[in-house]
Structure formats: structure tokens, C-alpha cells
Structure 1
Amino acid sequence: MTPEDRFPGPEHPDSGPRHQPDLDVLPYGTYYEPDPNGGYSPTGYEAETYSGYGGARYLEQHWPATGPEQGHTVHAQNGPHEQAGYEPTLPDHPSPAHGGHPGPGPQSDDPPTIELGPPLPDPGQPYHPYPAPAPGEPVGPLYVVGDVHGYLDELRTELRHQGLIDADGHWSAGRSRIWFLGDFTDRGPDGIGVIDLVMQLAAEAAAAGGYCRALMGNHELLFLGAARYGDEPVQSTAGTASFLAAWRLNGGQQSDLERLEAHHISWLSRLPAIALEDGHLLLHSDTTAYLEYGESIPEVNDAVHDLLADEGVDEWWDCFRRFTKRFAFRGDSGPTAVRELLDTYGGARVVHGHSPIPYLTGAVHADDGMPPHVPGPYVYAEDLAVAMDGGVTMEGRLLVSRLPI
């Protein structure tokens, strides 16, 4: 688990000097580095690649990268340091939220909480699925977008760079197709602005013969849970906790919660958890937890939607906890985990967000003050997995890339 997924990095001051931890020994991976000239073209980019372990440098502002304690088995990813619902701090490192060393055991103190207003009503609007292409209709190029986490300006910049939007922020890519891999909110300054932009582009793309679609990430589950359940207690190995406490602990922004409206909730609640496009199995999280929700893509998506519609706070919390797992595709067992997903749901390669590339490579900075070097998506697990979270929350990059890579 990456500690940056527990605390919002940019809001915390430097927590002082830390030792460099031991790192997992990882297989070689490959960065995909797009044409530096950029821009949209009908043929796409030529893939210029280079290989090497530890190609990214992570500017570790607040915590070291995770060490060899993490498990890499296919199903048993809840290692001794994972606390249900939280993405835990490494043992023996200071926690700025509590001012001390949490140690290897569970924490009992909850973070500060805020008051919620009255629950938002169910808008009751009918759900209209994405339109299918007409018979024989050619499809446009396919793009994926990694974790945005409220960084609206960076998202606009990257979409513009790829020729997908114009200078005014409107769809300009014709029949192109885009999939956002989830995590629109938290940590960054304008998560609601990101959601509004994606919803706008979905309408504009459909009118132009393309489409803009999105997956549900673990932060969508967390954000929606905070809005719906607030401080209602949930069962957690970290002691009494709530969605609102976990949301704030994981970078939730009060301004996003204040601007959340019924139509945002309706749209977010209907996002699929998993999709298959052009042989690419699209997921938010690099975990095999999807297998626990169904043996087909429709079964998984229906199970998540049914849970969000009908189940209680503990079932919702458990879903969030499962989709917060990560790193299943790293290490010796990583290719096996990827193949299990591909064999079950189809496709030839998994494309995911969730785990920042600097953590996946196992690299830490050399105390040189430089931001992490993330030239593009990271291909690993015997070329079966593509990581798209460029670490925008840690001064990395917000990745928008054309598939295939």
C-alpha cells in the first residue's frame, strides 16, 4: 500500500528526515514515451521505449516508498500492514495526522470530522446507456486517462496537448474514444470541476460520433460514501471509523463536498467498475478483487451497482476496502494475477490506474529535490499490464495516452 493514498501529500509540511527503505526487487518494465511533438494524428504515436528497473524517481515528500513487507500473491493482498478502508502508513514512520509513530498495529484514533448537511435526494432520473456504434460504422482512436485527483488545469492541458479538446475546453476529437480510469476527486483542488468537464465531454463526444466514458475508482466509492453515510460508524480493523473520516484522511476536499449535487451522485453511482475495449481490459485498481464480484464484466458491474443502490454502510465499506488493494501485478506472481483476470473477463492486456508509477517501479529519490521522472505509461508484468497513474499528486504527470501502447 502506498502511504500517499492515506494522507493528502500536498497539504502536509515536510515530516522530517527519513531513512531510505529496502525496496522490493521488481522485474524490468518498459516506459512508453510518446512523440514529444504531441498532437492528435489519425495514425497515432510511434512507441519509443526504453527499459530499466527504477526508471522513475519519486520525490518522496512525506513518506518512503513501501518496502518488502507487501504481499504479491494473487488473492491474499491484505498484508499485515493493511487496515480495512485505509491505505496504511508504514510502521515506524511518523504520522502527521497524529504526531507520533503508529507502529505496526492498528490505529484507534480517527481523524477530525466535519458536519454534513441533509442527505441529497435521489434524482430519480432514468439511466441512458452509452450509444452503440451503427453497423459497419468505423470507430475512432482509443485513449485512456489516468488518475486526475482534482487537478483540473493539468487535465485540460493534457487533453489539449493530445488534440482531444480545443482552446475553450470543448470536444475536438471527432469520433475518438476516451476512457477515464477513475479517481476524479480528492487531494487536488477541483474534483467537482473535473467531474463536470468529463460529463460535458461525454455529451459533446456523443454528438460528434465519439464517446467519453469513465470507470469507478476507489475514490469515487469513498467520496459517494462520505456524502451518503457521513460519520455513521463502519466495521474497521482500525477501530471505529466512518466514510467521512476515511475520506478526509485520504485527501477529501471540503469544497468538493459542498459543491456535490444530485446529478453528480447519479452519474458517479452508475459508472462501471470494469470494461473491455479493443482487447484492453480496463480497470481502476491493480487488484484481483474484481474476481470476487462476478465471473463476467456485466456481473461485476451489476454487483457493484446493486451494492451501491441497495446495500448498507458495511457492504459499501467492504467494497471500497477491496478496490483499495493494489500491487497485485508486481513481483513474481504479477503475471499470473493479470492472466487470471484476462482469462476471466477477456482481453490481451490490462490497463489500470490507482498505483502511481513511481511506486510501481520501486524507485525513491536521491534527495536531489527533483520531481519523479515519468515519461509515459509503464508496461510491466511480462508486458501484460499498463500502468496509467503518472503520480500527478506527487509532482509527477497526469497521463493521457492512446492505445495500444
Structure 2
Amino acid sequence: MTQGAGQGPVVRTATLRDFRVPPYAQVPVQSQPCSEEYVLAHPEDSVPQPVSRLPGESAPQPAPADRSDDPDRADATDQADDPDRGDDPGQADDPGRPAPAAEAADGGPGTAPDRTGDSVPQAPQAPRVHPGDAVPDDEPPEGYTPTQRDLPVVNRGDTVLVAAAPAQQPAPEGLGPLYVVGDVHGYLDELVAALAAQGLIDSEGHWSAGNTRLWFLGDFTDRGPDGIGVIDLVMRLSAEAAAAGGYCKALMGNHELLIIGARRFGDTPVNSGAGTATFQAAWLLNGGQKNDMDRLQDVHLQWMSRLDAVVEEDGHLLMHSDTTAYLDYGTTIEDVNDTVHEIINRNDADECWDLFRKFTKRFAFRDDNGPQAVRELLATYGGGRVVHGHSPIPYLLGEVGAEDADGEENSEPLVEGPHVYADGLAVAMDGGVTMAGRLLVAQLPLEA
């Protein structure tokens, strides 16, 4: 985990929040003529999805943009991570549960799910020029495709939001306090500001937290303007923290698997279980940034390939995705991490695709059977609470595109801290920095 420092200065792009998927990403992805048209799934972890048509039937017309009040609209960019669609290969592991009208769809392609159970205070301004970055350009890079803001959401009404205040518990002997960071997705300025607000880095972006332990929960690239800058920062902080007696480590998210696959396999067809698919197409559909791919080096690929998938710290089971699919890869934490590393090292496109597909599953812990799904993971791998990223908290709270008391759309961040749910057994850390949320850094354990 304590790998080399970041690369030389690079030119950043400005943080832009409300792009639509560009036309080039809407081209059908198929290697031979067939009766299925491939359309965009939801920008959150989407992959090409087949839409069958009768002979002579015309292609469906996309619905008008900005229809956030219509959760059932049929244009493909709003088919968001619905784990309950029976024909969705990435559906949740509870096939018997009825599908809420406004739920988001699982973008993972492939065959039917293999398991049951899936379904800060205001931060200070970031330094004007962060180490490893120059001032932003006026224009975004070609192919910039962040997540849309008008997305269907889950509004269950029984969720509990808690402040990110740490409980007063001493750290294990010889170790400092434990912090976790949610999904970053290329938002380097927001990351620097959030780390500085917690006192983890100084005004020049260097580690200043001594023996503190810091874990990133994955998804460093895609959607935002500077994914490679984020990786460079985390790699450098890993070395600086180790020298100070602490550590800065990271877990593998589905977007790490995605960009690794896009670089290694490109347009090589993979067996998605739902027709022809490629890593390159999936990467573009999920906010892949040309600027990141152009700057991606072997050192970044090697670093990402060695990341663990799951760890246990102080009774917290840390993982990227809110899914029970980890159980498919081993009965111990060591088994899971070893298996994931072996799959990546074998360099088999189909195997890597299946791993990516399973890591895109989400919402395993949100419904009535959610607590039992968490308990299954904890009983297998240890710990007393799961801490994850991947599924943005605004989805879980039903607050994307929410309106204020005057009926005006609320543009202020709707996420104030981590989200505790599933009978208090799960903590969601993806604050939705790519939408109406924020990038979360929190100390564990949280107050109950």
C-alpha cells in the first residue's frame, strides 16, 4: 500500500456537475448484426443493455431531458441500478421483492445474480494550486460525462441519517484514530478540502495526521475532472503516512476494475450474458474521462491491481460495494482478496468482466432482508458493522432533485454525513459528490 509518490504536474479541468452523456457514447456496441439494440443504461455503473425489437419496429425515442418527476420514464439514461428487474443481470439478490416505482436499477450486466440478499461541516477552501496540479482549464476534456442530476431515487421514508461524529473510544494500542473516505470520482479539490477539514493533511496537501489510519473505499476515477490526480495524491499520502507511523490505504472499487479493463482489453468482446459488450464501451458509458486515460501509467495500473477488496478494522468490515457478492470469492477476507488478485493477474477478459459485473451490484442492505444480508457478511468475515461506498446516499434518502419549502429546487448539498441503516449494521459513505451531495471523510466509530 505504501507505493511511490505522485507524478509530475498535470493540467486539471474545472469541476463541472451537470453534463449529459455525449452522442459518441450512444453508438450501439455489437460485433455482428443482431436483433437487439444497445442503449445506455443509467450513468451509475451502467453497461450496454439489450432492447429487443420486432422486425421492422422503429427504435424507441428518448424521453425529454430533465424529467426528474417521472421515475418510470423509458429513456435509457434513467434505467438506474434497478436490482429488482427480473431481466436485469445485475439485479438485487431478492428476486421476490416487488419493485418500487422510483428505485434505481443495477447497471451490472451479465447473467442472473449468483446469491440472495442484494438488491461535514463546511470544508475550508482547497489550496489554490494543489501539489501535482495546475490551475483548471477553461474547457473540460473531450468526452467528459459526469452523472446526471435528474435521476430516479429510492424514497423509503424509514432511513436514519446520523452526523459523522466519532464515538469516544480509544484506538488500539499503538495505532491512531481510524478514518474512512467515500467515493471520490475524480473530484480532487473536494477531496483535498475534506481531508484538510479533518486535519489529515496540511495547507500544502501533505500528511499531517501522525499515526492516524485512513482508508479509501474505492472509486477514484471517472465522472469527475481529475481521477489520476486523485490516485497520485493517495499514493503519495500512503508513503507519507507510513513514514509518520500511520497509514493511508485503499480498497478496490468497481471503477478501478473498469478502467483497468478498459486499458487492458479495450474493445475485446466479453461474455456479458446479455449480448456483446466491451470494457471500453462500459467505461465510456460510466463517465470515463479521456484525460484520465491519456495520463494513466503502468504505476497506476500496478497500484490499483494490488488493492484489496475487503478488510476488517476495529470491528468495521470495510468494502466498496453494498452487495453480498463478496461471498462468491471466499469464506475469509484473505481468500476474497487473494481470489480477486488472481483473477486480475490472469488477465482473462471474461473473468475480469464477471468480477466487475458483481462489484456493480448494490442495495443489498436497504430493504427488509437487508439486516440479514449484513449479518451474513459479518458472520463470514468478522466485524460488527459494514462500512461501504458505491451507492450514493442521495439515492437511499430519496433526495436527488428535492425541492425546498417554496417549491424551488434545492441546489445545496443534501448530505451532511454518513448514512446508518439496516438496523444500525451498515454505514453508507458515498456522499454523492457527483450529484447533490458531498465527498465524505468520517472518523470511525460513529455515534449510534
TM-score (ref. length: structure 1): 0.72
Alignment partner of 1:183 is 2:228: no
Residue of structure 2 in register with 1:17 after alignment: 67
1:387 aligns with 2:428: yes
* Partner Cα separation in structure 2 for residue 189 and residue 83 of structure 1: 22
What is the CA–CA distance in structure 2 between the aligned matches of 1:76 and 1:342, rounded to whole Å? 22
Matched, 1:150 2:186: yes
Change (3 A) 1:186 1:386: same
Within a 5 Å distance, the mapping from 1:159-174 to structure 2 comes to 159-174=195-210
Match of 1:27 in 2: none
Q: Distance in 1 between matches of 2:107 and 2:247?
A: 38
What does residue 42 of structure 2 align with?
3
Secondary structure of the corresponding residue to residue 361 of structure 2: coil
Letter in 1 for 2:408: D
Paired residues of 1:183 and 1:219 also in contact (CA < 8 A):
yes
What is the Cα deviation at residue 333 of structure 1? 0.5
Measured in 1, the distance between the counterparts of 2:280 and 2:222 equals 12
| 1:368 aligned residue | 408
Cα offset, 1:6, TM superposition = 4.3
Provide the residue aligned with 1:322 in structure 2: 358
Equivalent residue number for residue 241 of structure 1? 277
Which residue number in structure 2 is paired with residue 200 of structure 1?
Answer: 236
**SS of alignment partner, residue 434 of structure 2:** helix
Which stretch shows the higher mean deviation, 379-388 or 310-319?
310-319
**Maintained 8 Å contact 1:65/1:359:** no
Unpaired segments ≥5 residues, structure 1: 9-13, 23-61, 87-95, 97-135
Is 1:291 the equivalent of 2:327? yes
Q: Match for 1:21: what amino acid?
A: P
Paired with 2:246 and 2:96, the residues of 1 have a C-alpha distance of: 38
Give yes or no for the alignment of 1:85 onto 2:109: yes
Residue 263 of structure 2, aligned match among 206, 227, 237: 227
Cα deviation code 1:284-332 (max 9, x no counterpart): 0000000000000000000000000014100100000001000000110
Partners of 1:164 and 1:214 lie apart in 2 by 15
Distance 2:92 2:291 in 1: 39
What does the per-residue CA deviation read over 1:155-180, in whole Å, with 9 as the maximum and x for residues that have no partner?
00000000000000000000100000
Specify which of 242, 267, 274 is matched with residue 303 of structure 2. Answer: 267
Per the alignment, in what secondary structure is the counterpart of residue 393 of structure 1? coil
Q: 1:183 to 1:335 in 2, by over 3 A?
A: same
Relative to structure 1, the CA distance from residue 251 to residue 7 in structure 2 (aligned partners, 3 Å threshold; closer, same or farther) is farther
Superposition deviation, residue 7 in structure 1: 6.5
Superposed, 1:33-182 pairs within 5 Å as 63=78, 69=84, 74=93, 82=106, 84-85=108-109, 138-182=174-218
Identity %: 62
Q: Please name the residue that 1:337 is paired with.
A: 373
RMSD: 2.8
Q: Once the 2 structures are TM-superposed, how far is the Cα of residue 361 of structure 1 from its aligned partner?
A: 2.0
Superposed displacement of residue 17, structure 1: 2.7
Q: Give the Cα separation in 2 of the matches to 1:318 and 1:77.
A: 24
Quote the Cα distance in structure 1 between the aligned partners of 2:238 and 2:45. 31
Letter in 2 for 1:357: I
CA distance in 2, matches of 1:382, 1:78: 19
Letter in 1 for 2:315: G
Higher relative contact order (CA 8 A, sep 6+): 1
Q: How far did residue 74 of structure 1 move?
A: 4.7
Distance 1:196 1:79 in 2: 44
Q: Is the 8 A contact 2:93 2:364 kept in 1?
A: yes
| Distance apart, 1:18 and its partner CA | 4.4
Partner in structure 2 of residue 252 of structure 1: 288
Which residue of structure 1 lines up, in the alignment, with residue 134 of structure 2?
none
Q: Residues 20 and 84 (structure 1 numbering): CA distance in 2 closer, same or farther, change over 3 Å?
A: closer
Change (3 A) 1:281 1:273: same
Q: 1:79 to 1:324 in 2, by over 3 A?
A: farther
- Cα 1:243–1:140 change in 2 (3 A) is same
- Alignment length, in residue pairs? 313
CA contact (8 A) 1:152 1:191 kept: yes
> 1:179 aligns to what SS in structure 2?
strand
Query: What SS does structure 2 have at the residue aligned with 1:358?
Result: helix
Contact 2:214 2:249 in 1 (8 A): yes
Structure 1 match to 2:35? none
Distance in 2, matches of 1:190 and 1:369, equals 28
Any idea what SS the aligned residue of 1:164 has?
coil
Task: Report if the CA contact (8 A) 1:65-1:362 is conserved.
Answer: no
Q: Distance in 2 between matches of 1:278 and 1:75?
A: 30
Evaluate the alpha carbon distance shift between residue 191 and residue 78 of structure 1 in structure 2; reply closer, same or farther with a 3 A threshold. Answer: farther
Amino acid at match of 2:302: S
The answer (yes or no) to whether the contact 2:272–2:354 under 8 Å persists in 1 is: no
* 1:400 corresponds to 2:441: yes
SS where residue 193 of structure 1 aligns?
Answer: helix
The amino acid across from 2:71 in the alignment is: P
